[in-house]
Amino acid sequence: MKIIIYMNNIKENFPILNKKIDGKKVIYLDSAASSQKPYSVINDIKHTYENSYANVHRGIYKLSQMATDKYEASREKVAKFLNVKSSKEIIFTRGATEGINLIASSLADSFLNQDDEVIISTLEHHSNIVPWQIAAKKTGAKIVELKPDSNGNIFVEELIKCITKRTKIISLPHITNSIGSILPIKEICLEAKKRGIITLVDGCQAAPHVEIDINEIQPDFYVISGHKIYGPSGIGALYGNKEWLEKLSPYQTGGEMIDFVSIQKSTYANIPNKFEAGTPNIVGAIALASAIDFMNEIGINKITEHSNYLTKILYEKLKSLNYIRIVGEPERRLGIVSFLVEGSHPHDVALLLDNRGISVRAGHHCAQPAMRHFNVDTTLRVSFGVYNNEEDIDNFLINLKDIVKYLQ
């Protein structure tokens, strides 16, 4: 389907941003949690259900073949989006959380042993902590915490200090979801590769803002979520190095992941089908391709420039207010600014902003260890999408200042 991008006012592409809630137009500043969806994605979902929906891979009739072709074309598009050589290295998942769980569970089954070590950072989303805790409990492996400095920077030199002869896995974010700090992920993967250590990168917060080049970064695994990049919820992708995917045991069983089944034993399909048990989110996968088309039509470099500009403007304006404490001051950040209002609980401020049509996040952002690192329980978090602009920031700040006066 043809995509129309209204570059003069990109909000026009997003129906929800042109509606009013309680008489107020929505200013959406919570894209790190989930992005809004453009017409092209919404229309593609509708179009698929109305014109070409059937179960994939299993039917010889034309409708099934049409659905299969679109589903596999989306896999190719995701591979190109991540600069992956073979689409067989792309596994469709329900999202990044499932991708991490898949790898942690499969590595626990066949690779991790007693006293092996898994390095994760203090700044992880819980989805990159709990799966490794379960894997460690199963195997007797140990979790090693890579601590950031007081500003929220994670440096390669500190990572190297954490590595021992028992280090088997390093699992880190590309960009952190709590404060938006950018990790030197290419250098991290290089150091791991030198030592034969497996790397998994959580790319959820990077994929909406920067070009992802797997061929350059060279992780063993990389995960993204569709709903963060203007696609539907319930769909994501896992890149896995072919050699590892072929060695690992399946995460779930049944459906398309089988080759041969008898009562006593079964053999498994080749990758990627080996890791896609049951009926997949067919329409979600197809619509994910539309979301990637939408981003490509704008241009990833333009998106990066736009995100950098908005992040810098918001940071500087918040920093100038004497009642604001910025939480986390990393050297490099993108798309996210977390902060506190002196004397006010984040939930109170967020609720009052919501009453004025402004959507921000208040909470621990599924990153409780990160919150404890900064000696806070919760923060306010503003995060950006392609539809945000400087006017949104100005409106947010005008209303924030008014709310602070009210609360004081």
363-375 pLDDT, tens digit each: 999 999 999 999 9
**Cis preceding linkage at 272, omega within 30:** yes
Residue where a domain stops, chosen among 296, 318, 341? 296
Can you tell me whether residue 110 is helix, strand or coil? helix
Mean pLDDT of 198-202: 98
Token pair of 299, please? 């241009």
In angstroms and rounded to an integer, the radius of gyration of the C-alpha atoms of the chain is: 22
| 313: pLDDT strictly greater than 90 | yes
Question: Do 149 and 183 reside in the same domain of the chain?
Answer: yes
Q: How many domains does the chain have?
A: 2
b/e for 78-112, b at 16 or more Cβ within 10 A? bbebbebeebbbbbbbbbbbbbbbbbbbbbbeebb
Residue where a domain stops, chosen among 296, 328, 346? 296
| 210: pLDDT strictly greater than 60 | yes
pLDDT at residue 3 in the model:
45
Can you tell me whether residue 181 is helix, strand or coil? strand
Question: Do 162 and 304 reside in the same domain of the chain?
Answer: no
41 vs 65: CA distance, rounded Å: 22
Question: Is 1 within a domain?
Answer: no
| 5: pLDDT strictly greater than 50 | no
| 74: pLDDT strictly greater than 80 | yes
Question: Is 2 within a domain?
Answer: no
Cβ-count burial of 52 within 10 angstroms (0-12 exposed, 13-18 middle, 19+ buried)?
buried
Sequence-separated (6 or more) residues with CB below 8 Å from residue 176: 123, 124, 152, 183, 205, 336, 367, 370
Question: Do 278 and 347 reside in the same domain of the chain?
Answer: no
Question: Do 61 and 207 reside in the same domain of the chain?
Answer: yes
104 vs 171: CA distance, rounded Å: 10
155 vs 169: CA distance, rounded Å: 17
Percent of the chain whose predicted confidence (pLDDT) is above 70: 98
> Mind spelling out the 3-state secondary structure of 52-91?
CCCCCCCCCCHHHHHHHHHHHHHHHHHHHHCCCCCHHHEE
| 111: pLDDT strictly greater than 60 | yes
Mean pLDDT of 239-245: 97
Which whole-number Å values give the CA distances from 156 to 35, 119, 161, 200, in the listed order? 31, 13, 9, 15
Length of the chain: 408
276 vs 341: CA distance, rounded Å: 45
Instruction: Tell which residue, 176, 208, 128, 116, has the closest CA to residue 330.
Output: 176
Question: Is 201 within a domain?
Answer: yes
136 vs 139: CA distance, rounded Å: 5
pLDDT at residue 7 in the model:
42
Q: Which domain holds residue 303?
A: 7-36+299-407
Which whole-number Å values give the CA distances from 362 to 66, 190, 200, 341, 342, in the listed order? 44, 36, 28, 12, 15
Question: Do 147 and 220 reside in the same domain of the chain?
Answer: yes
pLDDT at residue 408 in the model:
79
b/e for 167-185, b at 16 or more Cβ within 10 A? bbbbbbbbbbbbbbbbbbb
What CATH number is given to the structural domain containing 292? 3.40.640.10
| 384: pLDDT strictly greater than 50 | yes
Question: Do 78 and 28 reside in the same domain of the chain?
Answer: no
Question: Do 228 and 140 reside in the same domain of the chain?
Answer: yes
Question: Do 222 and 364 reside in the same domain of the chain?
Answer: no
Choosing from 162, 189, 204, 366, the catalytic residue is: 366
Beta strands in 214-333 (DSSP E): 221-225, 236-240, 258-261, 266-268, 324-326
Question: Is 391 within a domain?
Answer: yes
| 331: pLDDT strictly greater than 60 | yes
pLDDT at residue 8 in the model:
53
Average pLDDT, the chain: 96
| 75: pLDDT strictly greater than 60 | yes
Sequence-separated (6 or more) residues with CB below 8 Å from residue 186: 216, 217, 218
Residue where a domain stops, chosen among 271, 296, 321? 296
44 vs 77: CA distance, rounded Å: 15
106 vs 156: CA distance, rounded Å: 27
Question: Do 106 and 216 reside in the same domain of the chain?
Answer: yes
Active site residue 189: no
Per-residue pLDDT tens for 13-39? 999 999 999 999 999 999 999 999 999
Per-residue pLDDT tens for 130-180? 999 999 999 999 999 999 999 999 999 999 999 999 999 999 999 999 999
Token pair of 221, please? 């695994």
pLDDT at residue 9 in the model:
83
Question: Do 158 and 119 reside in the same domain of the chain?
Answer: yes
Give CA 251 to chain center in angstroms. 20
What CATH number is given to the structural domain containing 18? 3.90.1150.10
Predicted confidence band of residue 4 (pLDDT cuts 50, 70, 90): very low
Q: What is the pTM of this model?
A: 0.96
Predicted confidence band of residue 188 (pLDDT cuts 50, 70, 90): very high
Mean pLDDT of 344-354: 97
Predicted confidence band of residue 237 (pLDDT cuts 50, 70, 90): very high
Beta strands in 248-386 (DSSP E): 258-261, 266-268, 324-326, 336-341, 358-359, 361-363, 379-383
Question: Is 372 within a domain?
Answer: yes
The label of the residue with tokens 């977390």 reads 338
Can you tell me whether residue 219 is helix, strand or coil? coil
Question: Is 31 within a domain?
Answer: yes
CB 223, CB 100: distance < 8 Å: yes
Question: Is 345 within a domain?
Answer: yes
Predicted confidence band of residue 306 (pLDDT cuts 50, 70, 90): very high
